[in-house]
Amino acid sequence: MRNSSDEVLIAAALSAREKAYAPYSHYSVGAAVRTRSGRVYTGCNIENASYGATVCAERVALWKAISEGEREFDTLVVVTSNGGSPCGLCRQVIAEFAPDMRIIIADTRGNARETTIRALLPERFRPEDVVGDPS
């Protein structure tokens, strides 16, 4: 259920989207993540001619927060022109750092839907799945 603080987060993601560097795909993405402490971190997609070096908005926002010592997350908003969902790589990063976080996916016309990483990536690779070979 969206509330006024979600609207502020959506506005922050829309603003971050305006800073996107997307000369190849022309698909600008903005993200905003709110931590449990109440701080908001934003990110935009940053493309590179070497496509593998491109970084998505969701990861930029999360990594900014993590680099500042945040480890508990409340809500992530992703805004694209058409309400596109986070890519698989972003889903895995979200699952690692914020498996219980709310995710709001919005478009630039004000439409939004709420989901979770468990819905987007039900068979995620979890930190506890990283085990050494017992033999």
Contact 40, 34 (CB under 8 A): yes
> What CATH number labels 4-122?
3.40.140.10
Contact 24, 49 (CB under 8 A): yes
Can you tell me the mean pLDDT for 48-64? Answer: 96
Q: Give the pLDDT of residue 17.
A: 98
Question: Is 47 an annotated catalytic residue?
Answer: no
Q: What is the per-residue pLDDT across 1-50, written as a single tens digit (0 to 9) for each?
A: 678 899 999 999 999 999 999 999 999 999 999 999 999 999 999 999 99
Sequence spans of domains, the chain: 4-122
Can you tell me the mean pLDDT for 74-84? Answer: 98
Catalytic residue among 58, 68, 96, 128: 58
